[in-house]
Amino acid sequence: MTTRPYAAARRTLSITDKLFEVNWGLVLLITIIASAGFAMLYSVAGAHLWPWAGPQILRFMIGFVVLLVVACIDIRVWMSLAYPAYAVSLLLLIVVVIAGHVGKGAERWVTLGPLGLQPSELMKVALILALSRFLHGKSVEEVSKPLNLGLALAIIGIPAVFVVLQPNLGTTLIILADGASLLFLAGLSWWWIGPAVGAVVIAVPTAWQFVLHDYQKRRVMTFLDPESDALGAGWNITQAKIAIGSGGMTGKGFLQGTQSRLNFLPEKQTDFIWTSLCEEFGFVGAVALLILMAVVIYYGVTIAMAARSQFARLLAMGVTLNFFFYILINASMVMGLIPVVGIPMPLISYGGSAMLSVMFGFGLLMSVHVHRQVEIPRLSGGII
């Protein structure tokens, strides 16, 4: 019996067929990780669903639907929407700088009716879409041409400037890391990478003097010597280390954490939720969850490798690396390995914009998987 080629059959698949093609193992892993976040938000609220766990569950349910809808849309449609999505996200970033909602000394939100939206979270995914489209079909030699490289750096740098003006250093770092990673994966020459690294090193003193705000400088100094002001600027990281250390090997037990329940731990529902998990479930629990996250990353890499088009491969790797950078920066931050920069732990920390952007990203990853045999001509990868 003969069968139609996969790419030809893919065009006629029904929604049911596409849902069957979804990698449900990956969806289950995402759900398990998010459920650990719900449990920790329930714990830090004193064994109450509100004000954090309940809304977060609802956001995840919405995000779950978004993931499935995005997964069923043809990857070529997402390629055609890449630049418009980037333009809309950039416009929202500009609105934030001009008339954004101020929270804790920074302008990071815009209000759309009853919703508070953080456009910088959307830009992470929009940047990956736009840069993947721009780099699609370009050879190693073409990626390294000055004009192409300059345009790619503009795609990365323009939103980074607006995010750092909010100011939001942590998200700026992820945007730059996402962009640099995609350029590297697309084949950027080491003749460009080497001087770029050198320029960054040289630029650090200038950034310290003219770019970083006073509170960001204090974070760096506190990172270098948190005990110098343990009751002031060093309070956050000192209490985080106490929470992690007090968990020991197996933790104090669910709902038994003292640092969060007694309100010693700052931002216990957002940036420092990971420390609460370490306190209650110890080293074993923290490593177990990190292993689950590592498996998600493995799934992402395998999905990228199986894709037939460069756009799909870069998109899948960009989403996967974005998830990885979230984890790396947050875990390093709360353990005192890097300065505090205000990055949430994906799927664990409380936050609507971050949850929905992560789930949308996973939806794009799943779309790559569902449409993995779709081939996109190189000519579709131009600027227009």
Mean residue pLDDT of the chain comes to 84
In sequence order, which residues have a C-beta less than 8 Å from that of residue 1 and are 6 or more positions away?
none
- The pLDDT assigned to 2 comes to 37
- The pLDDT assigned to 239 comes to 82
Beta carbons within 10 angstroms of residue 62's beta carbon: 14
Residues of the chain with pLDDT under 70: 1-12, 100-116, 190, 196-197, 199-201, 203-204, 208-213, 215-216, 219, 222-234, 262, 379-384
Q: Can you tell me the distance from the alpha carbon of 351 to that of 71, in angstroms, rounded to the nearest whole number? A: 23
- The pLDDT assigned to 32 comes to 97
- The pLDDT assigned to 225 comes to 64
User: Taking the model in full, what pTM does it have?
Assistant: 0.88
- The pLDDT assigned to 230 comes to 58
Beta carbons within 10 angstroms of residue 359's beta carbon: 24
- The pLDDT assigned to 9 comes to 40
Output the CA angle 127-304-372, nearest 5 degrees. 105
